[in-house]
Chain A
């Protein structure tokens, strides 16, 4: 089990062939209070970099991009009732969707936690 990060501030945690995707704690902090989250439908096919979900805060609406290609297996339904989960637990219960990877080698281009920390520190 390992966790990767993107330059667009998504995290992806891989378990076997599946993975869970969300936005980072840094991202939720920058967005401010999250008021709405739209997650992708189960069965949707995503290419790496596709707009997969939408997150809206009191400041702005942003797209969440899929860090990898694959098929969506689950969306986090809890976010529709309680979008504040993204604020309180961005890298835990506030996950956005689960996906089955079609091309695990895409993970090679992503950052690990240390690399992401330095990336954020430089922003």
Chain B
């Protein structure tokens, strides 16, 4: 029996949760193909090695070549043979949930299918086996991918320019806010220090503004879950640098006053940042540029189907309005009349700006060492080209249709606080109203794990009590949606009825309900050798 002496160990699920002596308990702790797996430190031993080191490599007769740096004490790493190592990680991987296994309803995350064609293109040696420091002449194909994708993103959003280098959504937010800061400083209005963030915005928005040195102020939502336009207008003034808004917002609702909001912000001398995390609901249907937005990041790992959630990395290009484009970060690509694509970096930025942009470019600096996530650019462009403009439009339509199907099919079981104000966009938002006393959103989430689904986003957005945010995406067929809805309906009915067994969920997962409070209050972040603990116990 292995021992985790680093502390608390979760209850083992081997007997399905019904306690010791259960007839279904197994000797191994495994349940058929559900394999119980110890920590790698518990199965490894210092005496084992998976590598056959030739002694002469360490000492060729002239003494070892490590000088005085040879270790004298063991370093405490686990030793495993190759098959032991492979089995360990393969067993762990079987306890994971992924978009390739089933519907992933995580709201505001757009967990859609990652087409295999994307992977095939990204693995072409001309894209996969190149180096960022290669001469630009030898990577014209890769630069063409970046340039082509940039044009698609500009076209789909109706914007003026795009910064391709930001590595994910929050990084893109920072890029956009830094562009706004640079534009304000150029205007001599660097004393605008307030960024307004509506309650329905993404949680990263206030963090971004604060990180960039702004003071964040909230704007309340109205009864329909939208930005309170009058409250926003009342707060605008000479100290406001920008408004950060998420559209569609985190209540899964479109902001119909977006153009009026932008006009009011511009009239007051501020800029409008839009969080593009929910772009999937409007791609091909709405161009943010037409709504007066100055900067918006696009999560390629959401809307444009590149891997998301552990499978990353993410990628968050930022589209910019004409007012902000000159301040975008370096490097950027530009195709000249001779067909050559340039990668413009610091040493050529001024010269290139003078030659081709009338000296207007005034980059705030650099976000990344190189040009961005090449692998994600290739996947996203593959997705765009394989769908075409009409296909992308249908993506948005099907994503919205699927979310509304979920919203309406759960009527009467789950309370939808904003359903009265019309259809939702790409995600359906529910509250915990109607659950029996002592039953919460957390219980429903744990129940969904037993049903074989990753839980939805929970307790966000904060404006809804016990929020459950479900985003099915266009990936799912009606049959897949019906199966999920049936499961969520069944679990929600248990919460409404006060089924005590639901408080024990999950009972079929590799681990039972974990003590999240203890884990957060007293986190054990590193494995500790059990030996010192054993001595202390004696």
Show the binding face of A for B, using Cβ within 8 Å: 33, 35-36, 56, 58-60, 83-84
Contact = CB atoms under 8 A, between A and B. Distances in A.
Nearest to A87: B517
A58 B520 contact: yes
Contact of A36 (B459, B462, B520): B520
Main secondary structure of the interface of A (DSSP, over half): loop
B535 interface: no
A60 B517 CA distance: 12
Contacts of A56: 520
Contact of A35 (B459, B460, B462, B517): B517
A58 B462 contact: no
Contacts of B520: 33, 35-36, 56, 58
Nearest to A59: B459
A112 to B, nearest CB: 25
Q: How large, as a class, is the contact surface on chain B?
A: under 10
Contacts, number: 19
Contacts of A84: 521
Contacts of A59: 459
Interface of B: 459-460, 462, 516-517, 520-521
A58 B516 CA distance: 7
A84 B516 CA distance: 13
B196 to A, nearest CB: 15
A59 B520 CA distance: 11
A80 to B, nearest CB: 11
19 contacts: A33-B516, A33-B517, A33-B520, A33-B521, A35-B517, A35-B520, A35-B521, A36-B520, A36-B521, A56-B520, A58-B516, A58-B517, A58-B520, A59-B459, A60-B459, A60-B460, A60-B462, A83-B521, A84-B521
A123 B421 CA distance: 20
Nearest to A61: B203
Contacts of B462: 60
Contacts of A58: 516-517, 520
B213 to A, nearest CB: 15
B66 to A, nearest CB: 44
Contacts of A83: 521
Contacts of B459: 59-60
Contacts of B516: 33, 58
The 7 closest A-B pairs by CB, nearest first: A35-B520, A33-B517, A59-B459, A58-B516, A35-B521, A58-B517, A60-B459
Contacts of B460: 60
A60 B459 CA distance: 7
Contacts of A36: 520-521
A15 B124 CA distance: 73
A59 B460 CA distance: 9
Contacts of A60: 459-460, 462
A87 to B, nearest CB: 9
Nearest to B218: A63
A59 B462 CA distance: 10
Nearest to A33: B517
A24 B175 CA distance: 38
A49 to B, nearest CB: 10
A60 B460 CA distance: 8
A36 to B, nearest CB: 7
A36 B519 CA distance: 12
A84 B517 CA distance: 10
A83 B460 CA distance: 23
Nearest to B520: A35
